[in-house]
Amino acid sequence: MSSQNEEIYPMNLVSFSIKTKGPGNFARRLRTVFTRFGFTEARTRHALHTIIDCLASYHASPTFFIPAIVLRRHPSLLARIATRGSEIGIHGYVHNDYRHLSVYEQFKQTQQAISVFKETHIPYAGFRNPYLGWTQESLRVFTRLGFQYESNEAVLHNVIDLAHFSPSLRTGYAKSLQLFQAIPSNIYTLRPHFEGTLLRIPTSIPDDEMLFDRLRITNPAEVGCIWSRVMEHVYDLGGLYTLNLHPERAIPCRKALDILLSFATSRPLPIWIVTLQEIAQWWNERSQFRLHITPLTPGRWHIAAACTSRATLLARHITVEDQTTQPWHATDVCIPSRNFSVEAARCPCIGVSLQTPQSVVDFLYEQGYPAQRCLPEDAHTYAYYLDLPGGTGTTCKERAQQKSVLVQHIEQLQVPLLRFACWPNANRAALAISGDIDSVTIQDFFLRILEVRQHTRQVR
């Protein structure tokens, strides 16, 4: 972490807020605290049920994340929304930034959080860090403690023309991007991916806080339009849109949420509206899918798909024999059958050189592509030939970049190719409505200042 970042993350919430939001914004924030929260649970309960009701009309449920210490103060409220089908994930033991904790403190506090979830009988599967403040050590902690997924990688969608905003608002917005370690949106970054057994499910920014409090866009129709533009972009790339809507802004955002959901359900192909845990279960299921391609006669292959019934099997530039196919997106068609023969100009599979490490083949499988080892002289008989003796790179950053370039390239190939789509049941994209319940009452909001101070002593 840079020394510049150290200055941005002081331990005290008040000075933190003043530094990142400015004194004017902090005063504004204090006013809104008293309008968005109450001294009882009533306002937050109403906000949570508003989101749940809104999604229920689309047969979907939200995912909420909550600091364990806040859950401990409001167990029946959370138990009630869990029984209505909402997923509850862990948002720290207290609302602190893990980038300020040693790996030991991260481990200890995550364990403490798990204990509270167990005591209160709230099932959990995933973790989202306050301020999306993850580190490589956090990923190891989540893996060791058995989490199915984490949802911290902040994919930035450039859907706002910042030129229309004042320099001070633009500065505040830029501070959020830095705080959230924003990454660009593309085909690869909009997909979940495994790091070992831990699934990383991307989240999206700008979130509601950046729109409402940073850029002061409070018109619900305008917010709904921005969210729909993000959805359109995600749909075009076939990825996941994880909206982050803090329940404290649910009431002013209700109409915006309706606009987004109505937009998402009126696309030509369906969008899977889903909780993050369901995505984690699906991605695990999908990771076992394989395509077995056997040559029959020149230009003909037999295909056996080892997958579950909800897999979406896609083909392009291939003639499928004696089977019905359904048009899907662009040049892709959907094949309902799992056993069939095809005619194609080349083997509809990715040929991988013998010196390319197995990790690259595993990566191709994870992305839903069929792969076979092949010799360089046979390269031209495959849809695409991959020769990466050094794998996808040595550093995390290099690997992410190379994987991104590779996926983008394969997706755009106009050659005979079979593959599994990202989402089940012929869905083109996925949409998860998530929200961090940072506080339930005004008391929670102010207790946070003390809790963060008590639990962030050990700065690296």
**Sites of contact with Zn ion (CB under 5 A):** 130, 436, 438
246 vs 428 by CB, closer to Zn ion: 246
Smallest distance, Zn ion to C-beta of residue 66, A: 9
Closest-by-Cβ residue to Zn ion is 436
Residue 106 sits at φ, ψ, to 5 deg, of -60, -45
Per the listing, tokens 């040595």 go with 394
SS3 205: strand
Sign of the CA dihedral 208, 211, 213, 216? Answer: negative
249 vs 403 by CB, closer to Zn ion: 249
Smallest distance, Zn ion to C-beta of residue 131, A: 7
Smallest distance, Zn ion to C-beta of residue 29, A: 14
Determine the Cα–Cα distance for residues 344 and 320; give it in Å rounded to an integer: 9
Smallest distance, Zn ion to C-beta of residue 358, A: 39
89 vs 130 by CB, closer to Zn ion: 130
Determine the Cα–Cα distance for residues 343 and 430; give it in Å rounded to an integer: 32
Determine the Cα–Cα distance for residues 361 and 314; give it in Å rounded to an integer: 19
Rg for the chain, CA atoms, rounded: 23
Smallest distance, Zn ion to C-beta of residue 180, A: 11
CB count within 10 Å of CB 300 equals 14
Determine the Cα–Cα distance for residues 439 and 36; give it in Å rounded to an integer: 10
51 vs 347 by CB, closer to Zn ion: 51
Smallest distance, Zn ion to C-beta of residue 109, A: 15
Q: Which two tokens stand for residue 226?
A: 């921005």
62 vs 130 by CB, closer to Zn ion: 130
Cβ atoms of 368 and 419 within 8 Å: the answer is yes
Smallest distance, Zn ion to C-beta of residue 68, A: 13
CA separation, residue 96 to residues 244, 416, 438 (Å):
18, 50, 10
244 vs 402 by CB, closer to Zn ion: 244
138 vs 392 by CB, closer to Zn ion: 138
Phi-psi region at 35: left, alpha or beta (left = phi > 0; alpha = psi -120 to 50): alpha
